[in-house]
């Protein structure tokens, strides 16, 4: 792995529950979603477009996990002189990074600073996939404001985030995570767009990305849930919201939950 700058922060208890799911197992998690080149292609395309427009000297993947996105970016183009940095709080995730040309920073993204990423204060671009929900309802807007504070006007923030067109679909998944005792929160597309604008971002484009399937078996392993927990959650969600193909489907063993991703291409206002 490349040059490292360690800044240790005590792991959030919610993330600590997931550590066993990190590392090499992440490549097969949720049907291999986060290690699939075809699935990543729309985000890579949006990222390449933003790089072409803004010519950043530094591209930082916030909550990079195993570093898959920046490795894919390198496979799709040459970016000589551009500093590529994976940022993640999970050491087990960063340990799986194999490209020595990509730097690793072990730090929480709500503590990352422009100076740490590049002491030369050169043009910067942030990319992110499936991270914003980790900060919960209360933490989302402060995070968006903090990231904006680290950027200069006109710089890009390209992120792929689970959000829903319909309020009822967001409510369903939020109740599901609440019942799993996990402090994650998923907005509607409209809510997220509003929060971004109010925290200093211009949303230039919203584009689709492949949905992700989370089976109750995946979730039980990830969040250390028992069968009784899964059945209780399945029954409550089914009673309150009913089934919705492509959103939530009850099964004899539990349920299928689908996360709907959108790619937001944003610029600092």
By the 10 Å C-beta count (0-12 exposed, 13-18 middle, 19+ buried), 153 is classed as exposed
- The pLDDT value given to residue 31: 86
- The pLDDT value given to residue 23: 52
Please state the pTM of the whole predicted model: 0.90
- The pLDDT value given to residue 5: 33
The contacts of residue 14 (CB under 8 Å, 6+ apart) are: 134, 182, 183, 184
List the chain residues with pLDDT less than 50: 1-11
* Domain 4-167+182-212+260-268, CATH: 3.40.50.150
Pairing of strands 248-251, 254-259: antiparallel
Cα separation, 154 vs 61, in Å, equals: 18
- The pLDDT value given to residue 25: 61
Paired residues of 161 in beta bridges = 262
Cα separation, 27 vs 8, in Å, equals: 24
């Amino acid at each position: 792995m490349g040059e490292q700058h360690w800044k240790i922060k005590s792991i959030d208890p919610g993330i600590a529950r997931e550590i066993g799911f990190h590392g090499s197992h992440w490549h097969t998690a949720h049907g291999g979603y986060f290690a699939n080149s075809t699935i990543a292609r729309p985000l890579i395309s949006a990222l390449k477009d933003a790089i072409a427009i803004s010519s950043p000297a530094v591209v930082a993947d916030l909550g990079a996990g195993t570093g898959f996105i920046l490795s894919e970016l390198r496979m799709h183009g040459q970016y000589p002189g551009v500093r590529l940095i994976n940022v993640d709080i999970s050491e087990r995730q960063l340990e799986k990074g194999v490209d020595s040309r990509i730097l690793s920073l072990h730090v929480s993204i709500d503590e990352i600073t422009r100076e740490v990423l590049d002491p030369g204060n050169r043009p910067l671009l942030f990319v992110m996939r499936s991270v914003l929900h980790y900060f919960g309802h209360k933490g989302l807007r402060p995070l968006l404001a903090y990231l904006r504070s680290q950027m200069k006007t006109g710089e890009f923030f390209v992120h792929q985030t689970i959000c829903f067109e319909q309020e009822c679909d967001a409510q369903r998944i939020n109740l599901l995570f609440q019942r799993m005792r996990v402090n994650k929160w998923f907005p509607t597309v409209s809510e997220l767009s509003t929060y971004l604008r109010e925290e200093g971002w211009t949303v230039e484009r919203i584009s689709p990305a492949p949905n992700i399937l989370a089976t109750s078996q995946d979730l039980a392993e990830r969040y250390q849930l028992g069968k009784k927990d899964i059945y209780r959650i399945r029954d409550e969600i089914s009673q309150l919201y009913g089934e919705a193909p492509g959103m939530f489907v009850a099964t004899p063993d539990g349920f299928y939950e689908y996360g709907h991703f959108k790619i937001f291409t944003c610029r600092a206002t």
